[in-house]
Amino acid sequence: MSVAAIGADAHGHVDQLYVETRELRLQGFLLFLISDCVLFSSFIFAYLYLRNSGQGWPPPGIQRLDVAFAAWNSVVLFGSGATMHYALENFKHGNFMKYMRFLLATIVLGAGFLGGQAYEYNHLIFGEHVTWWGSGIFGASFFTLTGMHGLHVFLGVCYLTVLVLQSAAGVYTKGKFFGITAGTLYWHFVDVIWVVLFSIFYLI
C-alpha cells in the first residue's frame, strides 16, 4: 500500500499531516503503554517482595479470594478483548456495522467487568471487612493494584464511547483510523495486566 493510500480518506483526498505524523503518534502511544507497564510493575514487584517476606499467605483473619467469581469476571474482560480485536478487523475491511456492533459489545463487556469488580469490593469491605486501610499488606496491595486496573478499564470504556461517537460522525475512514488502533492496543494492554493481577491475587 502506498503512502498516499495510507493517508487517503473515503474520497481519495490525502491528509499529508496524518501521513507524516502517524508513526510518531504510534511511537508516542507505545511509550505511554510502556510507562504504564513500569508503573504497574513497580507495585506488583513490591507486593510480591512483601508477600514473600511474611510468615503465611493470606494473612491471618483473611480468607482466600473467590477464585470462581474472579475467573468468571476475567472471562468477561477477555471476551471484550476478542470483540475489540474483531471491531478493528471489521473496520479495516470496511464492515462498518459489524465494527460498531463489536465496539459496542466491548463497551458493554468492559462495563460488566467493572460491575463485577464493584460487587467484589462491596463483598470484601462490608461482608468480610477487608479494606485498603485496615488489612495490612494484602488489603493495601489488592485494592491499590486492582483499583488502578479498574480505573484503566473505566477510562478505556470512556475512550471507546468517544470512538463510537466519532465513528458515527465519520471521523475515521479506511485510510485514517489511528484512534481505533490506539483503542485496541490500550484494551489489549488492560487484558494483559489483568492476567498478571489475577494470577498473583487469586491463583498463587
From first to last of the 204 residues of the chain, give the pLDDT tens digit. 333 344 555 444 556 776 667 788 889 999 999 999 999 999 999 999 988 886 677 777 788 899 999 999 999 999 999 999 999 999 999 999 999 999 999 999 999 999 999 999 999 999 989 898 888 889 999 999 999 999 999 999 999 999 999 999 999 988 889 999 999 999 999 999 999 999 999 998
Phi and psi at 13, nearest 5°, equal -80, 145
Coil, strand or helix at 95: coil
C-beta separation of 156 from 84 below 8 A: no
Spatial separation of the C-alpha atoms in residues 200 and 184, rounded to whole Å: 25
Contacts of 161 (CB under 8 A, 6+ apart): 107
Which amino acid would we find at residue 74?
A: S
Residue 105 falls in which region: left (phi positive, over 0), alpha (psi -120 to 50) or beta: alpha
C-beta separation of 148 from 196 below 8 A: no
pTM of this prediction exceeds 0.95: no
Termini Cα distance of the chain: 47
pLDDT at 125: 94
pLDDT at 158: 98
Pick the CATH number of 32-203 from 1.20.120.80, 1.10.645.10, 3.40.50.1110, 1.10.10.10: 1.20.120.80
**Directed axis angle between helix 67-92 and helix 178-198, to 10°?**
160
